[in-house]
Structure 1
Amino acid sequence: MTRLRIRDAAPADRDLIADWMIAMAWETEHKRLDPDTVRAGVEAGLADAAKARYFVAMREVEVAGRETIAVAAGTLMFTHEWSDWRNGDWWWIQSVYVAPEHRRQGVYQAMHGHVAALAQATPGVIGLRLYVERANTAAQSTYRALAMDDAGYAIFESEFGKS
């Protein structure tokens, strides 16, 4: 049986997480991200819990039929959003990535469960939210299976510095 462990990300995880974010942006949106900007952004998030909190899923894999080693299998970040309507914080799940060789094996479910348990144990947290690309039906199915519902919102943005 494969074991998963979810741990807080460390500064040494910066390059791996940044590489995964670049891969995720390409896979899900066909967007090419600037590697230096992403690395700086991940580094800033890792350094300041007020900005973000990252986790890494570690999976034990067997090597040469006898030894097991822990390998990074995925990552998840969350940020906070204050809700005056509810007098509490939403935790926004973002920057989710599971390495292709570890997909459909419970990695996201384990990360989600870890964050959900932390959220429920943290006073003032009122729930979890995330956004997903409309065409990403596989992810939507996963989120629904974890008792998440479509909140009925569309997201609009105005990115500064873009022409």
Structure 2
Amino acid sequence: MTTRSIREATAADCDWLADCAIAMAWETERKHLDPGTVRAGIDAGIADPAKARYFVAVDDGGEPAGTLMLTREWSDWRNGHWWWIQSVYVVPAQRRQGVFAALYRHVEALARATPGVVGLRLYVERGNDAARGTYAALGMADAGYDILEAGMP
């Protein structure tokens, strides 16, 4: 597979993106996600680019091969935005063929061309050495932080 193009997701991609998010949560964390909640979240993100931007890698046959979502975080230390890469998923048959690298390079170029963006970040599950290797090969480094959370009802 060669990735033909990277495009912004549209409302027509919502079901496929939801399937990807559900599969990714199961594969990486063994978490079952509620399909209705995921679909509503993706619908909201696509409808409002201030919430999220989704990108889809399309293979030579015109089929979606992978996706990622971008969100923004304000940094007062740097007076700019970090772009967070989230919801990364590559279709199993397309893995290890440069799909994520193409998505990453696309958003990296967008970030470099967008005033006020100070960098790209993502989080990765502990022990996911394959993903860590991929990210390192693209020039990403451990930022030295752990992520803590407190869920809200």
Matched, 1:144 2:136: yes
Alignment partners' CA distance in 1, 2:11 and 2:122:
24
For structure 2, the residue ranges without an aligned partner over 5 or more in a row are none
Structure 1's 119 and 38: CA in aligned 2 closer, same or farther, altered over 3 A? same
Aligned to 2:44: 44
Partner of 2:63, secondary structure, is strand
TM-score if structure 1 supplies the norm length? 0.92
Partner of 2:24, secondary structure, is helix
Structure 1's 56 and 3: CA in aligned 2 closer, same or farther, altered over 3 A? closer
TM-score if structure 2 supplies the norm length? 0.98
Tell me, yes or no, if the aligned pair for 2:2 and 2:97 is still in contact at 8 Å: no
Alignment partners' CA distance in 1, 2:4 and 2:74:
31
Q: What whole-Å deviation, never above 9, does each CA across 1:31-79 have from its counterpart, x for those lacking one?
A: 000000000000000000000000000001xxxxxxxx31100001000
Aligned to 2:107: 115
What is the count of residue pairs matched by the alignment? 153
Alignment partners' CA distance in 1, 2:20 and 2:99:
15
For structure 1, the residue ranges without an aligned partner over 5 or more in a row are 61-68
Aligned to 1:83: 75
Regions of 4+ moved over 2 Å = 1-4
Aligned to 1:128: 120
Aligned to 1:33: 33
Identity, in percent, stands at 66
Alignment partners' CA distance in 2, 1:127 and 1:46:
22
Question: RCO higher in 1 or 2 (8 Å CA, sep ≥ 6)?
Answer: 2
